[in-house]
Amino acid sequence: MPNDNLTIAWVYPDLLSTYGDQGNVAVLAGRARSRGIPVEILQIRSGRLIPASADIYMLGGGEDRAQELASDRLRADPGLRRAADAGRVIMGVCAGYQLLGTRFLGHDGRTHAGAGILDARSHRLEQRATGELLGEVDPELNLPEITGFENHHGSTALGPGARPLARTIVGYGNGDGSEGAYQGSVLATYMHGPALARNPALADLLLTWATGSTLSSIDDTWMEKMRDERLHHLGYSRSGRQTELSG
Partner 1 sequence: MTKLHGIASAIRSCCAVQVGRLVAEAYRRSGRPGGTFKAGSIALRISPDVLNVLSSPLDVSLISGTNGKTTTTRLITESLSTHGHVVSNSLGANLPAGIVNAALSAGSDTRAGVMEVDERYLPKIMDETDPKTVVLLNLSRDQLDRTPECRNIASLWRQALSETNATVIANADDPLVVWASSTAKNVVWASVGQRWTDDSWYCPACGDQLERDDEESWLCVSCGLAKPLARWVLRDETMLDTLLGTSHRLQLRLPGLANRANAVMAIAAADVHKVPAPVALARTALVGGVSGRFETFPYRGSRVRLLLAKNPASWLETLELIQDSPEVVLAFNARNLDGLDSSWLWDVDFSSLRNRSVFVMGERRFDLAARLHYDGVAFDLVDSLDEICSFGEHPHLDVVANYTAFLSAITTVRGKTSKGAGHAE
Which residues contact partner 1 (rule: CB under 8 A)?
A: 13-15, 17-23, 26-27, 30, 45-47, 63-66, 69, 130-132, 149, 151, 192-194, 197, 222-223, 225-226, 229
- What is the β-pairing status of strands 56-59 and 6-11? parallel
Taking the complex as a whole, how short is the minimal distance between the CB of residue 120 and partner 1, in angstroms?
A: 23
Q: How many other CB atoms sit within 10 Å of the CB of residue 64?
A: 13
Cβ-contact 217, 8 below 8 angstroms: no
Tally: H helices and E strands in the chain: 7, 13
Q: Which residues, in sequence order, are bridge partners of residue 183? A: 186
232 is catalytic: no
Nearer to partner 1, 139 or 245 (CB): 245
27 vs 158, which CB is nearer to partner 1? 27
Q: How near is the Cβ of 136 to partner 1 at its closest, in Å?
A: 22
Nearer to partner 1, 69 or 143 (CB): 69
Q: How far is the CB of 18 from partner 1 (least distance, A)?
A: 7
Contacts of 232-239 with C-beta under 8 Å, sequence gap 24+, read 233/132, 234/132, 234/134, 234/147, 234/170, 236/134, 236/145, 236/169, 236/170, 238/144, 238/145, 239/144, 239/145
- Distance (Å, whole) CA 186 – CA 238: 26
Out of 94, 112, 152, 153, the active site residue is 94
Nearer to partner 1, 53 or 130 (CB): 130
Judge contact between 133 and 93, C-beta under 8 A: no
What residues contact 157, with CB distance under 8 A and at least 6 apart?
A: 120, 121, 122, 123, 174, 176
Instruction: Name the active-site residue from 112, 192, 232, 233.
Output: 192
Return d(Cα 195, Cα 96) in angstroms, integer: 13
Is 123 in the active site?
Answer: no
Q: How far is the CB of 36 from partner 1 (least distance, A)?
A: 16
Nearer to partner 1, 27 or 115 (CB): 27
Q: Residue 69 CB, nearest distance to partner 1 (Å)? A: 5
Q: Which residues are catalytic, by number? A: 94, 192
